Amino acid sequence: MEQFRNIGVIGREGNGVAETLRRLIEFLQVRELGVVLDEAVSELLDDHDLRVSSRRMIGEVCDLIIVVGGDGSLLGAARTLARHNAPVLGVNRGRLGFLTDISPDEIETQVGAVLDGHYRLEQRFLLDVEVLRDGEPVGRGDALNDVVLNSGTSGHMMEFELFVDGEFVYRQRSDGLIIATPTGSTAYALSAGGPIMHPRLDAIAIVPMFPHTLSSRPIVIDGKSEIKMVVGRGNVVHPPVTCDGQVKITSQPGDVIYVRKKPHKLRLVHPLDHSFYASCRDKLGWGTHIGKEDSDV
């Protein structure tokens, strides 16, 4: 297993984040490890003499990146860090925490175990999106969870065409479409009725948002597929394309949107006792209604 000597720390302002950051940094310093702070973290901790780096450079100078915050914090970091091949570990200060799976109270034990070489490494693929207008690119983005095309306004449907690997799939009127990775299958796509996919699957889920026809259902395709969406020219809205709900590209009627697998993957670090199914039971409340009399069946 890799030995980590220079640790990058990323986080953003939120409930209890500064306190957790101080606890983490103190623990890393006790172990005599190099600590590099992201610029946003440096602003939260104004009483330090540690090295500070930009988000783009921190992946080049560190062996391990620790993100303190919710899944949104890790999503934002992942889109930058994937190209650097730096492994990422999450400490959860958010709500669900499917990606940031270490609690603040377990920093010394769980982070310590990872630093001692006791961890599991997963590779998660990301999506690239490109918006073309009259054949010319007008916007690009990438996403770990999902790429979403939506009408951008309440009460208005939009019309678009969907192609997979150049083959026409359907023309649809709906509130939009969610293109989700296995990582994102437990996020926005899940609330729209999409399937839960194991993170190791090489697959993409295509999930309609409130389609006009009841027969429109989510479909799962090969992860290497190229997805093309053509925004109908008759639309009165300019539908936004969002990446992980954080990056927004405004499209226009007639625009063509391509979604493809990104060549770089995120290397996500988990403690050895991490289980995807245990996370689902915990975060999604699976089986919480079962009484004691049923638990021995």
187 is in an annotated binding site: yes
156 is in an annotated binding site: yes
Residues 6+ apart with CB under 8 A from 100: 67, 69, 70, 71, 73, 74, 90, 91, 92, 93, 94
213 is in an annotated binding site: no
71: annotated active-site residue: yes
Handedness of CA 288, 292, 296, 297 (dihedral sign): negative
In order, the DSSP letters of 262-276 are: EEEEEEEEEETT--H
166 is in an annotated binding site: no
49 is in an annotated binding site: no
71 is in an annotated binding site: yes
CA-CA distance, 288 to 10, in Å (whole number)?
Answer: 34
150 is in an annotated binding site: no
288 is in an annotated binding site: no
72 is in an annotated binding site: yes
Contact 125, 265 (CB under 8 A): yes
- Catalytically annotated residue among 38, 71, 101, 255: 71
In order, the DSSP letters of 235-264 are: -SS--EEEETTTEEEE--TT-EEEEEEEEE
Catalytic residue annotation? 71
Q: Which residues are annotated as a binding site?
A: 71-72, 145-146, 156, 173, 175, 186-191, 246
Q: Which residues are annotated as a binding site for NAD(+)?
A: 71-72, 145-146, 156, 173, 175, 186-191, 246
